[in-house]
Structure 1
Amino acid sequence: MRPMKNRVLKSVLAVLVATWCGSWPAAAQPRPEPVRLALIEGLSGPFANAGEAVFRNLAWAAERINARGGVQLPEGARPLQIVRLDSKGQTEEALSMLRSAIDQRIAFVAQGNSSATAAALIDAIDKHNERDPQRRVLFLNYAAVEPSLTNERCSFWHFRFDAHADMRLAALMDVLAEDRSVHSVYLIGQDYSFGQHVVRKSREMLAKRRPDLNIVGEELHPMGRIKDFLPYVAKIKASGAQAVVTGNWGNDLTLMIKAAREVGLQAKFYTFYGNALGVPAAIGEAGVGRVLAVAEWHPNAGGAASDRFYASFRERFPRAADDYLHMRMQAMVEMLVAAVERAGTTDPLAVARALEGARFDGAALGGVHQGYMRAADHQFIQPLYVSLMQKAGGPGVRFDNEGSGYGFATVRHLSAASTEPPHQCQMRRP
């Protein structure tokens, strides 16, 4: 009788196990490991507003990719995940966050708000990838625009998706040079590699384009530490400058613009970033016809596709203060995913080779933006717009910025081919 009892017991157990397994919640099924992109940025500290704005851009790009099925790889689809790593706006903290990303075996890192930090990351990644090829890292740069990063200091492991400072500055200086009402200029910037370069290069470009212009002052100030720009703006006003050229960004630009309004400075501002992060609201009516910015796109760049894409961003982030959409960041994430899919792997070496020479047709962005990654130096070549602050609702200004009632109208559009500069990169490839 015992063998019969054993067989019955086994049958009952088999039924129970089958029933238990069949009722196992779907959430317990193994989920595919995400493709992770680490954002190493100042998410606290004096430039936290700029860091959080970048995160919104990358998160939205990842959401759209995941909504259409994620990253398609031979083993199956995998979601894209943005991992936040707070550098607190400090280079040493950024290097610590890079080590954290490596320890977590994250293959792709992104950073941009500070060229000095980007240079340190490039150097650290070069050394790490040579020392530990099994845990290589690829660096995607969306905003660190000091030109040497894709020239003398170029790296196979670094790809820049923003137009570098000389590309942006050339567009601005062409517009300034054509303004015959301006005869005196003041140059001011943050006292680090990028700010120093913008001041120096502005002087050189203006000497060639408008040798009659009088540069009435040059100033470099501590980065992220000035709370009151009134003394600086008072000097600009006293100089009689009719135009100010600055590469300032984040709160260093917003606070300077606020001070300019307070003292009634009537000069025009030629900026890299004057169309975002509180600047239009800070200067208000005083900025109309006076504040210019240069970027790869802006909300009033034109076209139904551009309007639809911008409207979808505003629907996702309805708070006016969150209005900070940059096409280069959207293109960067889309191009990373496309390179991973072409390579059929997340291995950084294979993905880097897939990114070299890659063209972006903008289809994933509704056809809004196009460009190509130059293989020789890993500089993304894309169109540029110079735009001028105006009242919303006026000619060419369908959308305002950050709910301020003021937006920007295009005054100069440059095709991708016309922005392409020479380079001095001598790249060492693995």
Structure 2
Amino acid sequence: MDLRNPSFRLGRRGLLTGTALGLAAPAMLRAQGTAPIRIGEINSYTAQPAFLGPYRNGWLLAQERVNAEGGIHGRPLETLFRDDAGRPEDAVRIAGELVASERVALLGGGYLSHVGLALGDFALQNKVLYVASEPLTDALVWSKGNHYTFRLRPSTYMQAAMLVEEAAKLPAKRWATIAPNYEYGQSAVRWFKELLAKARPDVEFVGEQFPALGRIDAGATVQALERLRPEGIFNVTFSTDLLNFVRQGNTRGLFENRVVASMLTGEPEYLEPLGEECPDGWIVTGYPRDALNNPVHIALRDAYRARFGELPRCGSIVGYDTALAIATMLRKVGSTDTEAMVAGFKGLRYQTGYGTGEVEFRALDHQATLGAFVGRTRLQGRTGVMVDWRYADGANYLPPDEQVRRWRPQPG
């Protein structure tokens, strides 16, 4: 049965457009009248507010636009936001409540990697669609990937590969690493080391630092790195850990005459709080918001500022894209049946709010091809910005398909 497949796009004024709303909706959705389609969104709002406050705003912006265009065949989207406080056990409990009591059609969200893995396992055990927005662990779609879990953002492997491409061009041979001591940090370090060694067999890694997430002893960590006398540093810290690390590193001269490759540091939610302490010349992944001036992004940036009174951050785009991808899938399949939605996500394409073109959720492993921007940090006035940046298409930084098949235990 042809359920119709309207597609969203951003027009010149930044509004989502699709096929005419007067067309007959699929029978399955039409039979349910105008009852909202409910999405259960679970995230670490109190634990990671710098990223997740803008994330929620971006999600709401996309949802409001979808509903203004008539919703999903006449049914509005409704999102139930819940806070897991960064605890996997809370995330799983909340997921159960949302599915059993609130009757949500699917789950979305996740920020910390260990929380995302817990939600992915819940999705598998309970046969519920889970669209992971932010958890970066590779395991989510590879070693622990499953039929019901999809992921939007480029993983640790993908972002490490983007940074390695730049780091391999540098003369630095002696490298040290610093990362938070949990799945995300461990995975990022593993892939940076493996991929850089492959690209540059002459490099050596002289030491690692794995401080506890959110509890870095920055002074001691900087001293330990200094004693290693590296020529290059790979950094995976973020949020307050990053701020403390940069502050102590600047004070003690750790970054002088050394190159630094740093994951996520170019995102405004982490770069801007550094203020005048922003280090110069770090190679970073991030979001060059103010300099990204294609028509689609300009329209989104202006609409976000009009709606929330501030400029978007990277989290805003992630939230916007996740909600938009879900809406695109629902309009495509015309059903809230779980297996229909899973099938609808395989190979799904949507237009990212970055304005860099279409993103695809791969049928092979449920990983989206959303990319990231790679550039360098620079202090401009009293705040840091990304300069000399380029968009790295996620499709170009994935491992070979045959390797993914070996890693992924279950088809689909």
**TM-score when scaled to structure 1?**
0.78
The one of 101, 124, 138 equivalent to 2:129 is 138
Counterpart position of 1:108? 106
Identity %: 22
In the other structure, the counterpart of 2:243 is 254
Distance in 2, matches of 1:318 and 1:230, equals 37
Q: 1:161 aligns with which of 147, 152, 158?
A: 152
Partner of 1:421: 399
> Is there any run of 5+ residues in structure 2 with no aligned partner, and where?
1-31
Aligned to 1:183: 173
**What secondary structure is seen at the aligned counterpart in 2 of 1:78?**
coil
Equivalent position to 1:273, from 264, 267, 282: 264
How far did 1:31 drift?
Answer: 9.3
> What is the match of residue 152 of structure 1?
143
Identify if the C-alpha distance between structure 1 residues 213 and 138 changes in structure 2 by more than 3 Å, giving closer, same or farther. Answer: same
Moved more, 286-295 or 193-202: 286-295
Residue in 2 aligned with 1:222? 212
Deviation track 1:379-428 (CA, whole Å, cap 9, x = no partner) reads: 111333212122449xxxxxxxxxx6332124443335423432132434
CA distance in 2, matches of 1:387, 1:212: 24
- Check conservation: 2:288, 2:385, Cα contact below 8 A: no
Structure 2 residue aligned with 1:310: 301
Q: Deviations over 1:356-386 (max 9, x none)?
A: 1112245xx4954421111011111133321
User: 1:88–1:275: structure 2 CA closer, same or farther, 3 Å change rule?
Assistant: same
- Within 2, Cα distance between the matches of 1:340 and 1:278? 31
* Higher-Rg member (1/2): 1
Partner of 1:134: none
Letter in structure 1 aligned against 2:214: G
Name the aligned partner's letter for residue 208 of structure 1. K
What is the CA-CA distance between 1:171 and the residue it aligns to? 0.8
Alignment of 1:10-409 (within 5 A): 32-45=34-47, 47-72=48-73, 77-102=74-99, 103-129=101-127, 137-180=128-171, 182-226=172-216, 228-266=217-255, 267-276=258-267, 278-295=269-286, 298-319=289-310, 323-362=313-352, 365=353, 367-392=355-380, 405-409=383-387
* CA–CA separation in structure 1 for the residues paired with 2:333 and 2:131: 17
User: Where does structure 1 lack aligned partners over 5 or more consecutive residues?
Assistant: 1-29, 130-136, 394-403
Query: In the TM superposition, what is the alpha-carbon distance from 1:354 to its structure 2 partner?
Result: 0.9
Q: 1:303-362 CA distances to partner (integer Å, 9 max, x unpaired)?
A: 343333323323333346x63455443232212112111211222221111111112245
Once residues 287 and 148 of structure 2 are traced to their aligned partners in structure 1, the CA distance between those partners, rounded to angstroms, is 23
Question: Which has the higher mean CA deviation after the structures are superposed, 270-279 or 112-121?
Answer: 270-279
Measured in 1, the distance between the counterparts of 2:319 and 2:290 equals 15
Residue-by-residue CA offset, 1:253-298 (whole Å, 9 max, x unaligned): 3332333233333244322211236532444445353333225875
Q: Using the alignment, how far apart are the partners of 2:354 and 2:390 within structure 1?
A: 23
Q: Which moved more, 1:192-201 or 1:31-40?
A: 31-40
CA deviation string 1:55-103 (max 9, x = no partner) = 222122212222222222xxxx122222111111111111111112112
- Alignment check: 8 A CA contact 2:58 2:304 kept: no
Alpha carbons 1:261, 1:283 under 8 Å: kept: no
1:251 shift after superposition: 2.8
Structure with bigger RCO (C-alpha 8 Å, 6+ apart): 2
Change beyond 3 A, Cα 1:361–1:388: same
**Contact 2:235–2:261 under 8 Å retained in 1:** yes
Residues 284 and 262 of structure 1, relative CA distance in 2, 3 Å threshold:
farther
Task: Give, in whole Å, the separation in 1 of the partners of 2:165 and 2:139.
Answer: 22
Residue type of the partner of 2:77? L
Give the distance between the partners of 1:356 and 1:408, measured in 2 at CA: 34
1:126, CA displacement in angstroms? 1.1
Kept after mapping to 1: 8 A contact 2:147/2:411: yes
Q: In 2, are the aligned partners of 1:115 and 1:144 still within 8 Å (CA)?
A: yes
1:232 deviates by 0.9
Letter in 2 for 1:126: L
Q: Report the AA paired with residue 98 of structure 1.
A: A
The alignment covers a number of residue pairs equal to: 373
Q: Which moved more, 1:139-148 or 1:210-219?
A: 210-219
Distance 1:252 1:123 in 2: 29
Root mean square deviation, CA, Å: 2.7
Looking at structure 1, the residues matched to 387 and 80 of structure 2 have their Cα atoms a distance apart, in angstroms, of: 35
